[in-house]
Amino acid sequence: MTQTISRLHPGDLVEVRTPDEILQTLDTEGALDQLPFMPEMVEFCGRRFRVFKRAFKTCYYNTHSGMRKFRADDVMLLEGLRCSGAEHDGCQKACMIFWREAWLRKVDGNDAALRIDSVGRERLRARLKTKVGPNTYFCQASEILKATSELSKWDRFAECFSEVRIGNYSALEMVQRVGSWLFWRTRRLFLGEYAHGNHKTTPVQSVNLQPGEWVEVKSMEGINETLNQSGYNRGLYFTPDMRLLCGQQQRVERRIEKIIVDGTGEMRQLRNTVYLEGAHCGCIYALGGCPRGEFSYWREIWLRRATGTAADGKQSVTSERKAVLH
């Protein structure tokens, strides 16, 4: 059941509707147009956020990867809202959450805030499921292929214009995105993968990096020594935009050990892999990019613990800030 909604744009202030209002939009699977409302989203009912972008399309990754578009033009991303994975056995994928406009209402700063009762939250939670099998999960990632359709070549260009029209990007930003896509597509065609090695079986290294540690990203020469000819290390691709961090020092945000696979719902185990703070996928091989903002996955073999004055200085500044806050 789809409600009458107003068009939302990036920057709009919205309020997540009440649990009972959201319940009225859901089918027996706890989804609207095959996009699930997940238990991790319930805590946001009644709270206010800014619209980040309208999600016309999304990338996906399983045994294949690609770009697809949502069948209905009513999907939004809200600033800073990612799935915690708490209700899905601790999945660490941290996906940006997709929101149907029927789950949101536009407000201004003078509107009174909603009061959400715990009984309503539990009624909503009771409708929502997290699994369809012993090791098969039900979430927005697992259902992403059902909620979307293939993008034709014309659609890929048309969506670029739509993103400018709606305000996701300025015309200049989109020209830069299309130019980047064209450059890397042409380079890949004539020169092959930007990052690649000669291994048939790629090497493994366990460093046991922990959240908060400073690391230095190895040089491209060092990275290439860990890859096969297609640019992968044990199934993880080293993307061209990741090269921008080579030689730089970054802080580990978290270890990543399990994620739900797009389109299948399988929980996949990862080893010796971390997220780095602020390091997101640039989707440079996708025309116009993708708003999903996936974290880049970093094998520990691509990193080394940082030493010296740069890392010490950053750590010192961090400690001073914590001291001021406390």
* Of 54-58, 198-202, 208-212, 320-324, minimum mean pLDDT range: 320-324
Give the per-residue pLDDT at 154: 84
Give the per-residue pLDDT at 313: 53
Give the per-residue pLDDT at 309: 45
* Of 12-16, 68-72, 110-114, minimum mean pLDDT range: 110-114
**Sequence-distant (≥ 6) Cβ neighbours of residue 96 within 8 angstroms:** 77, 81, 82, 83, 291, 292, 293, 294
Q: Is 67 within 8 Å of 57 (Cβ atoms)? A: yes
- pLDDT at position 2 over 50: no
- pLDDT at position 246 over 60: yes
**Alpha helices in the chain, H assignment, sequence order:** 19-23, 118-127, 153-166, 171-191, 220-224, 309-325
Average pLDDT over every residue of 62-69: 83
Give the per-residue pLDDT at 267: 96
* Per-residue pLDDT band at 152 (split at 50, 70, 90): confident
Retrieve residue 158's tokens.
């048309």
As a whole number of angstroms, the distance between CA 309 and CA 236 comes to 32
**Rg for the chain (alpha carbons), in Å?**
21
* Per-residue pLDDT band at 252 (split at 50, 70, 90): very high
Between residues 288 and 140, the one the model is more confident about: 140
As a whole number of angstroms, the distance between CA 259 and CA 91 comes to 5
Give the per-residue pLDDT at 281: 83
- pLDDT at position 311 over 60: no
Average pLDDT over every residue of 129-146: 95
Give the per-residue pLDDT at 6: 56
As a whole number of angstroms, the distance between CA 86 and CA 63 comes to 25
* Per-residue pLDDT band at 308 (split at 50, 70, 90): low
* Of 27-31, 149-153, 303-307, 318-322, minimum mean pLDDT range: 318-322
CA-wise closest residue to 150 among 59, 75, 63, 237: 59
CA-wise closest residue to 49 among 22, 18, 78: 78
Question: Three-class SS string for 149-173?
Answer: EECCHHHHHHHHHHHHHHCCCCHHH
- pLDDT at position 316 over 50: no
Give the per-residue pLDDT at 1: 41
The mean predicted confidence, pLDDT, of the chain is: 89
pLDDT in tens, 88-105: 999 999 999 999 999 999
pTM: 0.87
Average pLDDT over every residue of 29-34: 96
As a whole number of angstroms, the distance between CA 34 and CA 208 comes to 39
Task: Name the percent of the chain lying above pLDDT 70.
Answer: 92
Using DSSP's 3-state secondary structure scheme, residue 65 falls into strand
* Per-residue pLDDT band at 156 (split at 50, 70, 90): confident
Task: Report the chain's terminal Cα–Cα distance, integer Å.
Answer: 49
Q: Is 26 within 8 Å of 34 (Cβ atoms)? A: no
